[in-house]
Amino acid sequence: MHTVDHILIHNATFPVMKLKNEDLGKAREIREFLEKNYCEGCDYTFLSKKYAINNLKLKQAFKFVAGDNIHSFITKLRINHSMRLLKTTDLAIGMIAVRIGLDKTNFNIHFKKITGKTPSKWRREERMLL
């Protein structure tokens, strides 16, 4: 049986890039790290240094592994966590924003972009279902 030790990535932005299994493994580790630490200010530079992976390879490997770029992945994690808080607590919207690592304005913008509703409207509607 032949095993593949790399994959080739090609898109309009980047030329053909060889990603090794090691790169994909690091991307999986980063995904797990972000799932636990999404409130921290993690960007490509921080993560590429922490996991000793080239910034460009990190972007490609993470997209391959997670199906999204790091910024969008973190934003979705934050909004999912905020939805749990909105549903299960009486915390103010501003406090929830702080807990998930966003200011209130950005929280409202990202929440509405993902759910189609403001956090307060989403909360009201969820509570009516209970």
- 61, 90: one domain: no
CB 19 within 8 A of CB 7: yes
For residue 1, being part of any structural domain is answered with: no
- 36, 63: one domain: yes
State residue 11's pLDDT score. 52
- 77, 63: one domain: no
Q: Which residue in the block uniquely carries the two structure tokens 């209130």?
A: 104
Give how many domains the chain has, as a whole number: 2
Instruction: Read off the tokens for 65.
Output: 């592994």
Reported pTM: 0.82
- 45, 96: one domain: no
Judge whether residue 2 has pLDDT over 50. no
- 18, 39: one domain: yes
Closest CA to 86 of 111, 68, 61: 111
pLDDT in tens, 53-75: 999 999 999 999 999 999 999 99
State residue 87's pLDDT score. 94
Instruction: Read off the tokens for 86.
Output: 């909105």
CB 91 within 8 A of CB 45: no
Judge whether residue 1 has pLDDT over 70. no
- 96, 123: one domain: yes
pLDDT in tens, 20-31: 899 999 999 999
| CA 119 to each of CA 52, 57, 103: distance values in angstroms, whole numbers, following the listed order | 38, 35, 13
| SS3 label, residue 17 | strand
Rounded to 5 degrees, what are φ and ψ at 89? Answer: -135, 170
Banded pLDDT at 84 (limits 50, 70, 90):
very high
Structural domain for 60, as ranges: 6-67
